[in-house]
Amino acid sequence: MTHYDVVIAGCGPVGAALGNLLAARGLSVCIAEKHREIYDKPRAITFDWEGMRVLQFCGVAEEFAKGIRPHPGTDFRGVDGQVIKLFDPLLPPWDLGWPPTFTFVQPEMERLLREALVRREAVTLMLGRSVEAFRDTGDRVEVDILDPETGGTETVTGDFLVGCDGANSGVRKALGLPLDDLGFDETWLVVDTLQQRETAIPAKGTQFCRPWRPATFI
């Protein structure tokens, strides 16, 4: 069995960033991700300066910065259209060297993180395969990684196993750990548009705080 310092379940933004950070510090890493391709729809849309510092350590901040922009701020409007709260970004100078908040395209960030992983000799990236089971042997963890195309499994070992496999985490469930949920589960209609010409839409975002139909414009 191949041994790694750390085995990571999941190669979304968290798993990919962690893999880069660990490899940059000389640790051997194996990452298993059940999806071969990056999910092409943006889910997260804002990013902060602490996150940019993390991407600096991952070695992708400079390239990532070409496709982002500082967050323009958000107005919160009440039932009668009146402004009830303002969110405006801090003006420079900035304590961490970056604007405090950005808007970004999540698939692009994930692409850069994965490309950085591929360049690192200390990283073994297993796309299209997932963590099926694991066992704590006392001094290490045995991890069974499933290839759904063949039905076969490969067992690797690690000093640590880290579950970065999302809200439906198989690692979390296997350990019997609860999911902290703030209880805000609603069905949303999301419309993304790509403007082909300059329009008069406002630069700032708006949160329409209408109890019967809240809406967000970004």
pLDDT at 191: 86
Domain boundaries, the chain: 3-68+104-179, 72-90+186-218
pTM of the model: 0.89
Checking if the pLDDT of 199 tops 90, the result is no
Q: Which two tokens stand for residue 123?
A: 């990283």
pLDDT tens digit sequence for 105-116: 999 999 999 999
Q: Residues 6 or more apart from 36 whose CB is under 8 A from it?
A: 127, 128
Q: Which residue in 115, 123, 139 sits closest to 55, CA to CA?
A: 115
Which CATH fold topology does 3-68+104-179 show?
Answer: FAD/NAD(P)-binding domain (3.50.50)
pLDDT at 4: 98
Compare 188 and 134 and report the one with higher pLDDT: 134
pLDDT tens digit sequence for 149-190: 999 999 999 999 999 998 889 999 999 999 888 877 778 888
pLDDT tens digit sequence for 10-27: 999 999 999 999 999 999
β-sheet with 46-48: strand ranges across: 46-48, 101-103, 69-70
DSSP strand pairing (46-48 vs 205-208): unpaired
Residues 136, 157 contacting (CB under 8 angstroms): no
Residues 36, 128 contacting (CB under 8 angstroms): yes
